[in-house]
Structures are given as structure tokens and as C-alpha cells.
Copies of this chain bind each other. A is one copy, B any other.
Amino acid sequence: MMIRLGLVGIGKIARDQHLPAIRADDRYELVATASRHAQLDGVPGHVDIAAMIAGDHRLGAVSICTPPVGRHAIAAAAIDAGLHVMLEKPPAATTTEISALADYARARGVTLFATWHSREAAGVGPARDWLSDKRIRAAHIRWKEDIRRWHPGQEWILDAGGFGVFDPGINALSIMAAILPAPLLLDAAQIDIPEGRGSPIAATMAMRSGDAEVTADLDFLQTGPQSWDIEVETDAGTLRLSMGGSVLELPGGEPVTREDREYPRLYTRFAELIAAGKSDVDIRPLQLVADAFLVAERRTVAPFQF
């Protein structure tokens, strides 16, 4: 059955990733959008979710790509209208908000899908399968990128509540929590906040999963080569995921690169969840970030200008 979909938020991620995935998937018909600033040619546009819901589009589901602050109210309005809901990452501004949405979707009997697109990167599923019967000794995240290159002028990302370096880092945590067999738990963290800013420009995390030590090294000031790498040391050798999960290297093998189909896979999964009457809301990556702020040693570092 065709899913009559509304898209909320028409920013860069919507145009680059969501729209091509929706248009290539014949299970979806994009019947309306909601955005304060933008419209799409040929699709009825509304200023907000309330107007879109009132717009008589016989909507079945919405995909929400607005920034995390304010997403709870949008998603709650959609659930209230009996619509299935898919959320960009991170699923909400706080852990409490996403937990409340999960409860509300359950009570209303609609599907809620909190997506973590990095988990759909080509190497992640095979990495999880390979690790499932290995003894994990240690694991490491190195997520180092240039904020000026990937987030030019996005001052809000360093405001309080903007997540700072955890905005990309949560992708690494979402992968690590998915591929390790035992729960990923936080012991300690250090966060470096530039003078006058509200969120960290660098962070380290000391975690554990079963007996294994897990570390994360997150940096927003990496010029030159960028790193989105995960390494897992096991009794059968070391697994390496690089390029954000796209490239997988198993012990003794060559790195394998496959085409990334992250967003098409998310929309496939959303359709499957709707058909099955189920939800998929994993709040652990967001919990790990909130926990990092909760336990962190804080340092004030040099002021940062874009």
C-alpha cells in the first residue's frame, strides 16, 4: 500500500538525502511539505505541521528533518493526528523528549522510527555480524573533522544544547552501540568548551562494553585528512570501519567499499515498520551523549571563530 508522506523541514539534509530516497521508492508518495522558509515545486507546501495536517492530504506518515530543538512538538502533533513518524538524528533535543514520544506513539498505536543513518552505512551490518561471536578486547572511535568545512557558519552547533562535537560524534556512538554485542556504558568523559561558547569543540570518552575498554576521541578542529574511523580489537584480530562506516576491513582481508544507501535503507525500514505495526526507537546514542555531559570534566579552551 502506498504511504502518503508529508515532509517536515526542507533544509540541506532533506534535499540531499531524504528527497532522492523518497522519490526513488515506489512505496511512498510525497503529498505535502511543511517548512517556514521553503517549498518544493509540484508539492503542496504549508508553513507548519498543523497547517499540513489540516490540509486534507490524507496523510499516512511524516518524515521530520527539522533541527532537534522543536522536533518534539512537531512529532507529538503528528502522533496526535494518528500519523506514523520518522525522525532524523538526533531524534530530539533531549533524552526525555524522545522517551516521551516513544510512550506517546505506543499509546496512540502509530509507528515511531528514530533513525540513525550511520547505522545503515555499508560496512556496519557486516561488522556487527562478524563481531557477534568474537571476544572483544577493546574498541576505539576516532571522529575528527573540520567544523569550518562541514558546518560553515553554523554558530548554533556550539551554543548550549547544540551538541558541539557530539553532533557528528553521535553517529560514531550509534554505530559502536549497534556493532558491539554487550551494552556500551560510559565511565568518564572530558569536554573542551571554547571560551564564550556553550558546547564542546573536542571531547574524549572512556567507556566499556562487557570486559572491553572503549574509547572515543572526538575533534572538530581536524584540518587535512579527516577521520571517521572505528577499530575493534578481538581475539580473532582487529576490525576496522572507516569513512563513517562505508569501508570495512576484516583481519587478513583488503578493505571493502560498497555503495552507501543509508537513506534508501531508512525509508525501506520505515515502510517495513509501518506494515508490521512496530516502532524502532533506540535512545542509547543520545543517552551516551547526555551522560557524557553529566559526568564530564570540563575545560575551557581558546575562543573559536568560524
Interface residues of A (CB under 8 A from B): 72, 93-97, 99-100, 103-104, 160-161, 183-186, 188, 193, 198, 283-284, 287-291, 293-298
In the complex with contacts A294-B293, A296-B160, A297-B198, A183-B288 CB distance below 8 A: no
A284 CB, nearest partner CB in chain B, Å: 6
Q: Which residues of B contact A295 (CB under 8 A)?
A: 93-94, 160-161
In the complex with contacts A103-B183, A185-B72, A298-B298, A96-B291 CB distance below 8 A: yes
In the complex with contacts A160-B297, A198-B298, A295-B160, A95-B290 CB distance below 8 A: yes
Query: Copies per complex?
Result: 2
Q: Do B291 and A185 touch (CB < 8 A)? A: no
Q: Once bound together, how far apart are the Cα atoms of A283 and B294, in whole Å?
A: 15
Q: Once bound together, how far apart are the Cα atoms of A295 and B160, in whole Å?
A: 5
Q: Do B186 and A96 touch (CB < 8 A)? A: yes
Q: Which residues of B contact A186 (CB under 8 A)?
A: 94, 96-97
A-B pairs, 8 with minimum CB distance: A161-B295, A290-B290, A94-B291, A100-B183, A293-B293, A290-B294, A95-B287, A293-B294
30 residue pairs A–B, Cβ–Cβ below 8 Å: A72-B185, A93-B295, A94-B186, A94-B287, A94-B291, A94-B294, A95-B287, A95-B290, A95-B291, A96-B183, A96-B184, A96-B185, A96-B186, A96-B284, A96-B287, A97-B186, A160-B296, A160-B298, A161-B294, A161-B295, A193-B298, A198-B298, A287-B290, A289-B294, A290-B293, A290-B294, A293-B293, A293-B294, A294-B294, A298-B298
Picked from B93, B95, B104, B188, the residue with its CB within 8 Å of the CB of A95 is: B95
Q: Closest residue of chain B to A186, judged by CB?
A: B94
Q: Once bound together, how far apart are the Cα atoms of A240 and B256, in whole Å?
A: 64
Q: Once bound together, how far apart are the Cα atoms of A99 and B288, in whole Å?
A: 11
Q: Which residues of B contact A294 (CB under 8 A)?
A: 94-95, 161, 289-290, 293-294
A101 CB, nearest partner CB in chain B, Å: 9
Q: Which residues of B contact A297 (CB under 8 A)?
A: 160, 198
Q: Which residues of B contact A283 (CB under 8 A)?
A: 99
Q: Which residues of B contact A100 (CB under 8 A)?
A: 183, 185
A75 CB, nearest partner CB in chain B, Å: 12
Determine which residue in A93, A104, A198 has the highest number of CB atoms from chain B within 10 A of its CB, and name it.
Answer: A93
